[in-house]
Structure 1
Amino acid sequence: MSVKTTATAASSGANATEKFRANKASGVQTSSQRVNHLASRAIKALVDTVAEEKVTYDEYNALKAWLIRVGEDGEWPLFLDVWLEHAVEEVANADRDGSKGTIEGPYYVPGSPVLQSPATLPQRDGEAGTPLLFRGRVTSVNGNALAGAHVEIWHADDAGFYSQFAPGIPEWNLRGTVVADEEGIFQINTLQPAPYQIPTDGACGQLISAAGWHAWRPAHLHIKVSGPGHQLITTQLYFTADEHLSDDIASAVKPELILDPEPATDGNGREVSYNFVLDPA
């Protein structure tokens, strides 16, 4: 049975929730004054919406039922990362001078295999898709090369599925942490990912259908780049001519993050270069 027919929103959501709890729920302390301020503003925004839009009890109860389903499907990471994270990212990176960041998304898993550049990401025998050579250089904002910088990369396969979030895919498929050379240069052999729809058979899909939205994300590479003494940058890189660059469901596309691959010089697939500039810590 194919991955496409067995992957479900509930199983993907459960994995995303479990990995968030393991890797991100660190119990950061926030003052009661800050919690009071943010919670009060958020609640007021909802209350104002109810009053201004004259929300009915039927609509209110539909919202309650939907919120319950979001939890049951484990889709809070998906919901928040698709519709809210882009705003948090803009605030977090507003003062950076280096490369542009964008959202991490719900499908990140730390601890991917460490590979020396030039590297080939782990993949199945006969992995479907167009070969892609992705290369570039990591420097500081002052132009100095960052020797040994880490370029952590993960992306969906040609069917739009991520390892560890859909059944039947090897654990670290299309995931790796590539170590740049002494000049900060990296070279990664992988496959060009496909556009995909976020899961639509769960609570988020129910909202999308009810609102008449689409569920598509443009094809993208997820990247985290880090170097000694410098700030980590989390970003995504997209591809020209993708029909969903202008209406990404996650609102994460930025002009600076769009790649324009060319036919590979060896005739096998495509290749593209992209350089990363990191801000000092």
Structure 2
Amino acid sequence: MTTKTHATAAASGANATERFRENKHIAAGTSQERVGTLAGRVIKAINETVLEEKVTYDEYNALKAWLIRVGEDGEWPLFLDVWVEHSVEEVANANRHGSKGTIEGPYYIPDAPSQNSPATLPMREDEPGTPLLFQGQVRNTAGEPLPGALIELWHADGLGFYSQFAPGLPEWNLRGSITAGDQGKFQINTIQPAPYQIPTDGACGALIAAAGWHAWRPAHLHLKVSAPGHQLITTQLYFEGDEHVADDIASAVKPELVLAPTERSGGKGREVTYDFILDPEE
């Protein structure tokens, strides 16, 4: 790799917070009754924990200091995506009959460069890591192919860093929007990503250290797959044999999402086939 990459929690957190503000829309239509119900339950759960665990003022003040630091480090997107989003995703996709979804995470960037399949994600000439051919087909729940389906793919590099969230990486490194062929088939050349630790030099890292947890996520591909008339699926795909598939800090791994790549002929890396099944729009 030609560029030295050094990412900090503060820089990544601030970037994730800014991206969230730019790309997400707050659900302004939520009723007062619903807000009252949800906020009331969260506050009640906190108070019950305080009473049941006999929380001291020292512990309470440590919590206040930590909550302030989460905001100062810009790590609310990271904290919520790592420890809460997996439950929200489970609720959101409970009625799907097609492919399994999982969390989006904090590092999605819309409008990645577009290509038609077969495609190669943007990468450096000396991109570190093992070449990976990711291929498959997009179909509906009746088994029919979905021509022109859109596959948005992004992932960390071979050292565990994401473009636009770590310095020294090209803007769209390992990010792309690929249009599938007439039969919904796609082929995407990329690099197998590495497992990585979530940023540990900020507030989330302080919590992890204080609790004696680990900070690792297994290597994964991020995807959003869509087609006209069908529900978009947001998911991640993992790799068989990764030691953190069983204890992902984000609790996002599902058995259906674990890949088993095989070696490509001629020693040109690895390949894997994975098909997506999209539910019809409701």
The two structures have a TM-score, normalised by structure 1, of 0.98
* Distance (Å, rounded) in 2 between the aligned partners of 1:185 and 1:246: 30
Deviation at 1:28, TM superposition (A): 3.1
* Distance (Å, rounded) in 1 between the aligned partners of 2:164 and 2:112: 12
* Distance (Å, rounded) in 1 between the aligned partners of 2:27 and 2:18: 15
1:259 is aligned to 2:264: no
Deviation at 1:27, TM superposition (A): 4.5
Aligned to 1:169, the other structure's residue is in SS state coil
* Distance (Å, rounded) in 1 between the aligned partners of 2:93 and 2:29: 21
Q: Is the 8 A contact 2:208 2:215 kept in 1?
A: yes
Q: Is the 8 A contact 1:3 1:166 kept in 2?
A: no
* Distance (Å, rounded) in 2 between the aligned partners of 1:259 and 1:230: 24
Among all aligned residue pairs of Structure 1 and Structure 2, give the percentage whose two residues are the same amino acid: 71
Aligned to 2:171, the other structure's residue is in SS state coil
Deviation at 1:267, TM superposition (A): 2.4
The one-letter amino acid paired with 1:226 is S
Alignment of 1:26-175 (within 5 A): 26-175=26-175
* Distance (Å, rounded) in 2 between the aligned partners of 1:201 and 1:3: 19
Gaps of at least 5 residues in structure 1 are none
* Distance (Å, rounded) in 1 between the aligned partners of 2:145 and 2:3: 44
Evaluate the alpha carbon distance shift between residue 228 and residue 266 of structure 1 in structure 2; reply closer, same or farther with a 3 A threshold. Answer: farther
2:190 aligns to what?
Answer: 190
Q: Is the 8 A contact 1:137 1:184 kept in 2?
A: yes
Deviation at 1:29, TM superposition (A): 1.7
Q: Is the 8 A contact 1:13 1:75 kept in 2?
A: yes
Q: Is the 8 A contact 1:112 1:177 kept in 2?
A: yes
CA RMSD of aligned residues (A): 1.0
Deviation at 1:265, TM superposition (A): 2.5
Q: Is the 8 A contact 2:3 2:169 kept in 1?
A: no
Q: Note the alpha carbon deviations across 1:218-262, whole angstroms, 9 max, x for none.
A: 000000000010000000000000000110000000000000000
Aligned to 2:110, the other structure's residue is in SS state coil
Deviation at 1:266, TM superposition (A): 3.9
* Distance (Å, rounded) in 1 between the aligned partners of 2:92 and 2:26: 18
2:238 aligns to what?
Answer: 238
Aligned to 1:166, the other structure's residue is in SS state coil
Q: Note the alpha carbon deviations across 1:21-66, whole angstroms, 9 max, x for none.
A: 0001344320000000000000000000000000000000000000
The one-letter amino acid paired with 1:110 is P
* Distance (Å, rounded) in 2 between the aligned partners of 1:66 and 1:13: 15
Aligned to 1:176, the other structure's residue is in SS state strand
1:210 aligns to what?
Answer: 210
Deviation at 1:7, TM superposition (A): 1.0
* Distance (Å, rounded) in 1 between the aligned partners of 2:37 and 2:4: 45
Gaps of at least 5 residues in structure 2 are none
Q: Note the alpha carbon deviations across 1:54-99, whole angstroms, 9 max, x for none.
A: 0000000000000000000000000000000000000000000000
* Distance (Å, rounded) in 2 between the aligned partners of 1:208 and 1:26: 29
Instruction: Report the number of matched residues.
Output: 280
